Amino acid sequence: MANVLINAPKTARRGETIELKALILHPMETGFRPGANGTIIPRNIIQDFTASWNGVEIFRMRMSPAIAANPYVSFCAVASESGVVRLRWSGDNGFAVEESVTVTVT
Amino acid sequence: MRRRLAAALAASLLFAGTARAADAPPGAWSCTGCHALSSAPSVPPNPIPALTGRPAVEIAGIMREFKSRGRPATVMGRIALGFSDAEIDAIAEWLARQDH
Amino acid sequence: MSTRRRTFLGLTAAALAAPALVRAQGAAKVVVVGGGFGGATCARFLKRFAPALAVTLVERQKTYTACPFSNEVIAGLRPLERQQFGYDGLARSGVTVATTAATAVDPAARTVMLADGTRLAYDRLVVAPGIDFDWTALPGYDEKAAERLPHAWKAGAQTLLLRRQLEAMRDGGLVVIAVPAPPYRCPPAPYERASQIAWYLKNSKPRSKVLVLDAKDSFSQQPLFRRAWSDLYPDLIEWVPLSQGGNVTSVDPATLTLETDFDSHKADVANVIPPQKAGALARLAGVADRTGWCPVEPTAFESTLQPGIHVLGDAALAGAMPKAASSANAQGKACAAAIADRLAGRPPQAPRLVSGCYTLAAPDYGFSLVGVYRPDKGELREVPGAGGASPLDSDPVLRAQEARYAEGWFRATTGEIFG
Ligand SMILES: Cc1cc2nc3c(=O)[nH]c(=O)nc-3n(C[C@H](O)[C@H](O)[C@H](O)COP(=O)(O)OP(=O)(O)OC[C@H]3O[C@@H](n4cnc5c(N)ncnc54)[C@H](O)[C@@H]3O)c2cc1C
């Protein structure tokens, strides 16, 4: 949990549009930059971010080398049923992080 | 008395002030933001030493020591490195001439 | 662009050759708007470099209240009076001081309108209005909210308000400082403020805490501040960078609550430093670009948008120079020299500028950031190899010495401007 920040409402009314925010610590190294010794630093980026609500994908984002370090994503969803929102980041060098939050819909 | 002194000082500034900008080498006026130019004694004395009226060779010599880190300093080492020896000499000569 | 500039220079030379014909009477006129570190320096040095010039300084306030060391006022270590300066010294040096606001500029007619109805003609105009706050940038934070959550980023009543709030706070309270993304006035000052407030709390309300919510991930002289905080105020100051959710997105003045993207913080005392832009007059004079700041060339600080108008100090985009009083002071002299040279028909020489910014983490704990700058490829750049921050590993004697030199800088600079 240390390198991911998530902001989602704990409760929401049915049919309400809620905002979800997520930030992950990641260097997003472009693969174009020379390092201190002059050689190119290998690319190391997050390629894919997805969010699913009770197993159904509701948001997907492909990331490119142009995205800055520590990417911050905010998106909206309609709260239709109580459940678990699962956020997943994956990328170069087998990078994969998954976090989830629970939203109770009343 | 105080008033008259102030007026005299202002007048001397006005005329001494004909010293044109072009007379000062680049960077000379940056020194006076820390080293007060006025020779009027300040109370309490300013902890940053005054430079005016000191011989040019002395100022230039100290600046070279600051540059080579041969003289202990908090800020002057970092400042002196921004000037060539020729620039330092020009500034030192200008400072030595400022004694009003 | 370069053709326009040449035409303009030609015009100035013509105006100088026959001033009586072109501009009513006698001496060339320079109007300076803004009597802070930038403008007041420039006005004073214009008279020094070219005593025949008619120099008018337009400043809306009778008394100037300086920001450097105002964090010590907040800590209760210094009376506000030590920050305050009048304009008698400038008047004695031959500057005409107009205590009123400038309300409009007509660059074509080369006139400045004043709030008292006067219209001033100029041959050269210097604009040094400092900063204004962007009251639309942070939801919940407007001029009225600043009475509850002071910014104290223009010294004076706001400084005293923050001081009083700290004095009234209970021991065990939470002080929150919100820091904007750059650019803003004086990059290290928010962290100096955190240090000074921590000094007060440590000595008077030791169970309290300072929380710094920051819209960026690193800051000026960060290693020196981190060292000072762990030396002097262990566990008293917490810094939350952008990537840990530090960006404040809205404030609620009624409850003293600051919202970030990921959290909500209820403060006992909240110091909100709002996003900033050049003072309003810069926009009215047409010298501010879409960023809200003023692009200038690096020799005379002449606007690249409006020939004949120079911009100094915090309002200007001055290349690598930080928005600091020492920068504004250095720029004021360089600009005065260039204007004096140009009006006398001499080509201005390329300036060498030095800025030296002191920070006091405690009364006897100072460090500094120095820069030496010169025009290089059309921009003010640092002279390589010079400048930089105080060493990280330095003994307490040197830190105490720098604290004394800081006061020396303040006295020398304010003396040369206002004395
Ligand atoms: C807490 C704090 C601590 C700081 N500490 C330091 C430090 O230690 N060292 C350092 O170098 N810098 C420091 N600074 C930065 C320094 O205060 C500024 O960089 C400096 O004041 C900039 O000078 P200026 O002339 O551009 O603007 P200002 O000093 O703001 O002056 C602008 C003047 O213009 C006047 N004005 C504006 N518009 C008009 C108008 N339309 N008509 C008439 N008058 C007008 C205003 O009344 C004001 O007097 C600090 C700043 C803060 C907030």
Residues C387 and C250: their CA atoms lie apart, in Å, by 38
Length of chain C, in residues: 419
> Which residues between 278 and 317 in chain C have a beta carbon less than 8 angstroms from any beta carbon of chain B?
none
**pLDDT surpasses 50 at B13:** no
Which tens digit of pLDDT belongs to each residue from C264-312?
Answer: 999 999 999 999 999 999 999 999 999 999 999 999 999 999 999 999 9
Among candidates C243, C262, C263 on the partner chain, residue whose Cβ is nearest the Cβ of A70: C243
Domain boundary among C252, C272, C292: C272
3-state secondary structure of A74: strand
The answer to the question of residue A37 being in a domain is: no
The answer to the question of residue B77 being in a domain is: yes
> Which residues between 195 and 234 in chain C have a beta carbon less than 8 angstroms from any beta carbon of chain A?
217
For a mutational test of ligand 1's pocket, the pick from C44, C65, C67, i.e. the residue with the most ligand atoms closer than 8 A to its C-beta, is: C67
Which tens digit of pLDDT belongs to each residue from C158-175?
Answer: 999 999 999 999 999 999
DSSP letter at C100 equals S
Which tens digit of pLDDT belongs to each residue from C128-156?
Answer: 999 999 999 999 999 999 999 999 999 99
Mean per-residue pLDDT, C350-378 = 97
C140 and C249 in a single domain? The answer is yes
> What domain range includes position A16?
3-31+42-105
How far is B97 from chain C, CA to nearest CA, in Å?
16
Q: So what's the pLDDT on residue C30?
A: 98
Residues of A in contact with C217 (CB under 8 A): 70
**pLDDT surpasses 90 at C405:** yes
How many Å from the N-terminal Cα to the C-terminal Cα in chain A?
27
C264 and C283 in a single domain? The answer is no
Which tens digit of pLDDT belongs to each residue from C194-207?
Answer: 999 999 999 999 99
Q: Is C58 in the pocket of ligand 1 (CB under 6 A)?
A: yes
State what percent of residues in chain C have pLDDT above 70.
Answer: 94
The CA angle C88-C89-C94, to the nearest 5 degrees, is 95
Q: Is C31 in the pocket of ligand 1 (CB under 6 A)?
A: no
Number of domains into which chain C is organized: 2
Among candidates A5, A69, A74 on the partner chain, residue whose Cβ is nearest the Cβ of C245: A5
Quickly tell me which residue has 């969010």 as its tokens.
Answer: A51
Among candidates C47, C370, C374 on the partner chain, residue whose Cβ is nearest the Cβ of B79: C370
Residue B22 pLDDT level (bands cut at 50, 70, 90): low
Structure tokens at C383: 């002279």
**pLDDT surpasses 80 at C255:** yes
C297 and C407 in a single domain? The answer is yes
Any C CB within 8 A of A67 CB: no
Q: Look over chain B and give the mean of its residue pLDDT values, rounded to a whole number.
A: 81
Provide the pairing of β-strand A56-62 with A46-53.
Answer: antiparallel
The answer to the question of residue B82 being in a domain is: yes
Q: So what's the pLDDT on residue B37?
A: 86
- State in Å: Cα C128 to ligand 1 middle: 9
C260 and C293 in a single domain? The answer is no
- State in Å: Cα C323 to ligand 1 middle: 9
CB contact under 8 A, C262 and A25: no
**pLDDT surpasses 70 at C377:** yes
Residues of B in contact with C402 (CB under 8 A): 74-75
Which tens digit of pLDDT belongs to each residue from C34-58?
Answer: 999 999 999 999 999 999 999 999 9
C268 and C282 in a single domain? The answer is no
Tell me which residue has its CA closest to atom 31 in ligand 1. C36
The answer to the question of residue B3 being in a domain is: no
Q: So what's the pLDDT on residue B39?
A: 63
Q: So what's the pLDDT on residue A36?
A: 86
Residue B38 pLDDT level (bands cut at 50, 70, 90): confident
* List of chain A residues with pLDDT < 50: 1-2
Structure tokens at B1: 């008395």
- Compute, in degrees rounded to 10, the torsion defined by CA atoms C45, C48, C52, C58: 30
- Residue of chain C nearest B42, judged by CA positions: C411
Number of domains into which chain A is organized: 1
- State in Å: Cα C191 to ligand 1 middle: 18
Domain CATH for B41: 1.10.760.10
> Which residues between 83 and 122 in chain C have a beta carbon less than 8 angstroms from any beta carbon of chain B?
92-94
The answer to the question of residue B73 being in a domain is: yes
Phi, then psi, of B74 in degrees rounded to 5: -85, -55
**What is the interface pTM, i.e. ipTM, of the complex?**
0.91
Q: Is C188 in the pocket of ligand 1 (CB under 6 A)?
A: no
Phi, then psi, of B93 in degrees rounded to 5: -65, -40
CB contact under 8 A, C244 and A5: yes
Choose among C272, C275, C213, C271: nearest CA to C242: C213
DSSP letter at B44 equals S
Quickly tell me which residue has 């400082």 as its tokens.
Answer: C177
Neighbouring residues of B12: CB distance < 8 A, sequence distance ≥ 6:
B100
Q: Kindly report the pTM of this predicted structure.
A: 0.90
> What domain range includes position C251?
135-272
The CA angle C29-C34-C36, to the nearest 5 degrees, is 125
C263 and C303 in a single domain? The answer is no
Residues C148 and C160: their CA atoms lie apart, in Å, by 13
Number of domains into which chain B is organized: 1
CB contact under 8 A, C93 and B26: no
Count other C-beta atoms under 10 Å from residue C301's C-beta.
Answer: 29
C71 and C99 in a single domain? The answer is yes
The answer to the question of residue B37 being in a domain is: yes
> What domain range includes position B54?
25-97
Tell me the sheet residues that pair with A17: A78
**pLDDT surpasses 60 at C225:** yes
Residues of C in contact with A19 (CB under 8 A): none
Q: So what's the pLDDT on residue C112?
A: 98
CB contact under 8 A, A6 and C244: no
CB contact under 8 A, C262 and A72: no
3-state secondary structure of C389: strand
**pLDDT surpasses 50 at C334:** yes
CB contact under 8 A, A70 and C245: no
Domain CATH for C128: 3.50.50.60
Q: Is C190 in the pocket of ligand 1 (CB under 6 A)?
A: no
The answer to the question of residue A36 being in a domain is: no
Residue C12 pLDDT level (bands cut at 50, 70, 90): very low
Tell me which residue has its CA closest to atom 17 in ligand 1. C67
Q: So what's the pLDDT on residue A48?
A: 96
Within a 13 Å sphere around the CA of C114, how many CA atoms are in the beta-carbon half?
A: 20
Domain boundary among C248, C272, C296: C272
Quickly tell me which residue has 């100090």 as its tokens.
Answer: C313
CB contact under 8 A, A5 and C262: yes
Question: Do C102 and C114 contact (CB within 8 A), yes or no?
Answer: yes
Structure tokens at B71: 């003289």
The answer to the question of residue B55 being in a domain is: yes
Any C CB within 8 A of A27 CB: no
C358 and C403 in a single domain? The answer is yes
CB contact under 8 A, C261 and A6: no
Residue B83 pLDDT level (bands cut at 50, 70, 90): very high
Rounded alpha-carbon distances, angstroms, from residue C104 to B39, C127, C231, C283: 41, 12, 50, 10
3-state secondary structure of B64: helix
Q: So what's the pLDDT on residue A75?
A: 96
The answer to the question of residue A74 being in a domain is: yes
Q: So what's the pLDDT on residue B49?
A: 94
- Compute, in degrees rounded to 10, the torsion defined by CA atoms C325, C326, C329, C330: -150
